[in-house]
Amino acid sequence: DKVKMVPGLVFTIEPMINTGRPDCKIDADGWTARTVDGGLSAQWEHTLGITEDGVTIFTERMM
């Protein structure tokens, strides 16, 4: 499937950093992600929106 990024589209980027292998599985609840080898992991998320002028990062921290 090809999704065209058009104004009004909102999506997330959710990288994971794992201490062991990069392979993950999704639990039966359809939501929870776990590493296959049981290694620790950390996840971070950004929510983005496509605008007429480009992109807005809704979760961006102002420092």
38: nearest Cα among 26, 54, 21, 53:
21
pLDDT for 63 equals 58
Instruction: Give the global pTM.
Output: 0.64
pLDDT (0 to 100) of residue 60: 81
25-63 per-residue burial string, b: 16 or more CB within 10 A, e: under 16: eeeeeeeeeebeeeeeeeeeeeebebeeeeeeeeeeeee
pLDDT in the model for residue 40: 94
The confidence score (pLDDT) of residue 28 equals 97
Q: Please state, in angstroms and rounded to a whole number, the distance separating the CA atoms of residues 48 and 15.
A: 14
The residues spanned by each domain of the chain are: 10-57
pLDDT (0 to 100) of residue 61: 78
Local mean pLDDT, 10-residue blocks, the chain (63 residues) = 90 91 94 93 93 94 67
